[in-house]
Structure 1
């Protein structure tokens, strides 16, 4: 596997036809990683779509066990090259090397999970009954699909999109984020080694303009997007204005964590501080609004302050195996988070710990806890996407649920209690697509992931993820028509 900066189209690496490139800076120390990453032009996107369109009929007809073997081989290659890919990911967006490695090995399981579905997408049939019509429902691939990945978990997001598409018999164009393109750019060699035919999977790079080209392309049947709510709206609008392609969106979150008086306190603190900080808080479903019942609020606040201060000591060079928490993805994301911190100071929001940058190099932000921000404060209502939580108190279940659901988002949620009946009762009332009980939520290949409200539409992962890449076709057969017999002739007697 070589270091690649080119586009991967129709089984080959090639430079952008426009010659446009983008630069990647290491967020640990602001050093230039490369200025050679190719940006796809409209011609490049047209070529990628044409390649995928040409490859579709044969890939669709490829036997399921053969598609599964290729997918499993790709999963093996991801694991075998995890160290190399992790270094590329870490240098581009600052993930600690241990986190980056885990976020490559995890997707290998997703590829194997969906490989098990290849050739097993079954249909339905219904007897004629009184109407004399035999009814068949079969599920067919969509055709050329495309995926746009956010930068915070490239390999997970790519697997959520590509693996079910491959299992169902579609072809694909993957666009990586301009913040973290290096590791996915290396996929080309692995895809060829795994045995994917040319054109079945294509990988392109660029910023929002390239995503717009995919979203508006007339020959793409589906676009799957992970990113911010404003960008998601733009994708949906472009899809509607073009060929009304199918759209799935996994957008932002401002997820609540509800901690009740009977919760195991140390566990709740660990998951709302140390586990929240994995990937420097740059996880869409991370619980950044912590709601604590009044009876344990003082103990929780003291404990979470100590935990966050300890976490700050574990921040450092993401290339170091001992580093637990790294910098933010780039200067733009750093400025975005620092803008929230400055705004909170101007509003007079109480800072328990943190609230500023760490060091004078890179894009490090101290783990930060705000106490009792106003319900309309931006640090409480808006997605920050950094190592920042807000803590408020509540009196009872009713208030906790009301506060938890008082948001335009609905992606994730967690709750902490020793009463399982309460846990299930509240889980059913939370307006969110995912709920973690006594733990920060973790994704699984077996279960769907996605949000309510403005956190998106559609689901990825699990059987629901596969359904997003097939379309039902209904066939009715009139069983009452008698076959027409051929006339008897002398030559046939």
Structure 2
């Protein structure tokens, strides 16, 4: 059992204070590391609590609108500083729940700060358009105005970074936000509301709620919420989109699943490709939507690639099962029992579909640990190739020609990301232009940055987060036409 050294938030944060749920439904949080109880009595927000949060946001909107840009920017920058000061606490709160190494989880707090500092610069610089007066005496302006009350629904795997992807641009564009945190990993993100109050955001500008599907459904259907951003599974994303359409046609951004291809051509730096693939799949223990879980290696490199990947996974396992609060721990479990059972199910299916050359089983009888696994040359229609597993499971396939690699990479319902490893810039540009993915990384796996859009093709989502694209998503255009007398 991991001893708690910080106060653990056990309820939603609305209008500048911690509030009790009206229904008082509670959950118990268990450690993914050793199954011990982390927190009993986590109060879940219900539809009535969502109404309270919306009322609060509605009151805050004119207050936030009345603040000048210097005041808003100061709140953004102060918030970023406070999050950095709380990085250790954030890392600890994730370690004791989902087992993410505390020193690694703390880095995500720095991402939050980076995103808020980036968007602080846009508060008074994101404008509209002005079309010069024509011969008939008309001056035409295009203004970008906030929607008002926005909502976000965040996942368990990277709660702080996805919080920043949604909240920073929404507030910078002039909106107020109700952010629902995952009930599987709520603690580190819940404290963001309290930090926002300390930073100078008026009460209600950022409300944080924790709850199950009931809260998410209430947000998706709410008639006073005009914009919603969701990160999660394709199935739930479709439900959010339907709810938005059936309620008030709220604008939707969906960042959904992935099964990203990782292409290693015959001229690639093989050592770099192996290290990058291993880091990519193991950093979050496979729990990432854009991870390169389908590796396509040129047939001349396949044996060496598999051998190198096995060695990397063996190294990762040296600390698998260790205390996530230990600074030497570099491995982690799956986030919760339901995810563990899902991954174990895929492992059993995979062993019937393909050759399992490493792993393929649970690691330890306690916690949510599984062995990093490699399936070699599964058939293209295998379930482990087609479906998102969300665990440390790698499918390694081979190809002989560039055309074959591109066709295989695109043979999926997903299109969030793709990776290309080659020394040929001509090939890199040629292949990247043909891949059906929202982000393509060439000789690297650095998939997110506040300056560039993030989102998917096909079933991987709708809309884009980050960059100026996010500011467009959180604003609506108004044409103003002036006639000179």
TM superposition score category, shorter chain reference = over 0.9
* Equivalent in 64, 67, 80 of residue 75 of structure 1: 80
- Is residue 317 of structure 1 aligned with residue 323 of structure 2? yes
Q: Which residue of 1 aligns with 2:182?
A: 177
Q: Which residue of 1 aligns with 2:339?
A: 333
Shift of 1:106: 1.4
* Equivalent in 11, 22, 36 of residue 16 of structure 2: 11
Q: Which residue of 2 aligns with 1:197?
A: 202
Say if 1:394 and 1:400, in contact at 8 Å, map to a contact too: yes
Residue-pair matches, total: 479
Say if 1:412 and 1:441, in contact at 8 Å, map to a contact too: no
Say if 2:75 and 2:201, in contact at 8 Å, map to a contact too: yes
| Matches for 1:37-76 after TM superposition, within 5 Å | 37-76=42-81
| Matches for 1:223-372 after TM superposition, within 5 Å | 223-315=228-320, 316-347=322-353, 349-372=354-377
Separation in 1 of the partners of 2:390 and 2:58? Answer: 37
Structure 1 segments of 4+ aligned residues over 3 angstroms from their partners: none
Residues 384-393 or 269-278, more deviating: 269-278
TM-score (norm 1): 0.95
Separation in 1 of the partners of 2:115 and 2:249? Answer: 29
The Cα RMSD (Å) is 1.1
Separation in 1 of the partners of 2:97 and 2:438? Answer: 30
* Equivalent in 173, 184, 191 of residue 186 of structure 1: 191
Shift of 1:167: 0.7
* Pair member with larger Rg: 1
Separation in 2 of the partners of 1:345 and 1:322? Answer: 32
- Is residue 210 of structure 1 aligned with residue 208 of structure 2? no
Shift of 1:2: 4.4
Match of 1:91, SS state, is: helix
Say if 1:6 and 1:16, in contact at 8 Å, map to a contact too: yes
Shift of 1:91: 1.3
Match of 1:19, SS state, is: coil
Residues 158-167 or 85-94, more deviating: 85-94
Q: Which residue of 1 aligns with 2:3?
A: none
Separation in 2 of the partners of 1:67 and 1:223? Answer: 22
Say if 1:274 and 1:311, in contact at 8 Å, map to a contact too: no
Shift of 1:313: 1.6
Residues 423-432 or 306-315, more deviating: 306-315
Residues 365-374 or 308-317, more deviating: 308-317
Match of 1:279, SS state, is: coil
Say if 2:280 and 2:292, in contact at 8 Å, map to a contact too: no
After superposition, give the CA deviation of every residue in 1:71-118 in whole Å (9 maximum; x if it has no partner). Answer: 111110000011011111121212111221111111110010001111
Match of 2:155, SS state, is: coil
Say if 1:76 and 1:108, in contact at 8 Å, map to a contact too: yes
Shift of 1:121: 2.0
Say if 1:168 and 1:469, in contact at 8 Å, map to a contact too: yes
Shift of 1:302: 1.7
Shift of 1:219: 0.1
- Is residue 373 of structure 1 aligned with residue 378 of structure 2? yes
* Equivalent in 79, 84, 91 of residue 96 of structure 2: 91
Shift of 1:297: 1.3
Say if 1:317 and 1:326, in contact at 8 Å, map to a contact too: no
After superposition, give the CA deviation of every residue in 1:39-90 in whole Å (9 maximum; x if it has no partner). Answer: 0121110010011011112212311121111011111000001101111112
- Is residue 400 of structure 1 aligned with residue 405 of structure 2? yes
* Equivalent in 137, 140, 151 of residue 135 of structure 1: 140
Separation in 2 of the partners of 1:239 and 1:204? Answer: 19
After superposition, give the CA deviation of every residue in 1:363-383 in whole Å (9 maximum; x if it has no partner). Answer: 001110000111111111100
Q: Which residue of 2 aligns with 1:444?
A: 449
Shift of 1:192: 1.5
Q: Which residue of 1 aligns with 2:168?
A: 163
- Structure 2 unmatched runs, 5+: 1-5
- Is residue 34 of structure 1 aligned with residue 39 of structure 2? yes
